[in-house]
Structure 1
Amino acid sequence: MTDKQDVAGLSFETALKELEGIVDRLEAGKVDLEESITIYARGEALKAHCEALLKSAEARIEKITLKPDGTVAGTVPLDVE
C-alpha cells in the first residue's frame, strides 16, 4: 500500500495527530536526513488529506435561515469566507 492509499483511509483526527507528530519530530531536529525526507513526504500527504476532508465538510455544512417570525425558512450554503 502506498502512502497516499494509507493516508486516504485515515480519519481527520488521526491524520492531524500524525501530522502534528511529524512536525514535532522535524522541529526537534533529531531525525537523520533520509528519515526527514521520508516523514516530510508523509506529512505532505497527511496535510493534503486533512485539507480535502475539511473542504468536503465545509461543502456539506448549511446555514439555517429563519423567517421574520422565527420559524425555519430553509437552508443555504454556509459562507465560510
Structure 2
Amino acid sequence: MNAVPTPEATSDVAALSYEQARDELVRVVSELEQGNANLEQSLQLWERGEALARRCEEWLIGAKARLDAARQGQADE
C-alpha cells in the first residue's frame, strides 16, 4: 500500500532524529498489530508509519553517503 500521508501525519516527522523516528515507528507498528484501533485510527497510524519509515530511510541513505564519501577520501589519499 503506497498511501500518500496527510500533512497531519507528517507535520513533525522531518525534525525527528533517526532514533526518534525508529522508536515511534516501532510503537505505531505495535499499535496496528494489536488491532484495537478503529478504521480511521488505523489509517492515521498507517500514514504516520509510512512517513516515519521514509524518515528513517532518509537518515540511512544520508549515513551511507557519508560513509561512502569517507571511504573514497581514504582511497584518494
Tell me the TM-score range normalised by the shorter chain. 0.7 to 0.9
Alpha-carbon separation, structure 1, partners of 2:20 and 2:36: 23
SS at match of 1:63: helix
Q: Which has the higher contact order (CA 8 A, sep 6+)?
A: 2
TM (norm. structure 1) is 0.73
Which residue does 2:3 correspond to in 1?
A: none
- Between the aligned residues of both structures, percent identity stands at 42
Alpha-carbon separation, structure 2, partners of 1:28 and 1:3: 20
Pair 1:33-2:39 in alignment: yes
CA-based RMSD of the aligned residues comes to: 1.8
Deviation beyond 2 Å, 4+ runs, structure 1? 1-5
Unaligned runs of 5+ in 2: 1-6
- Per-residue CA deviation, residues 24-65 of structure 1 (Å, 9 max, x unaligned), is 01011111111000010010000001001100011001338x
Pair 1:63-2:54 in alignment: no
More helix by share: 2
Q: Which residue of 18, 23, 32 maps to 2:24?
A: 18
More strand by share: 1
TM (norm. structure 2) is 0.77
Q: Which has the larger radius of gyration?
A: 1
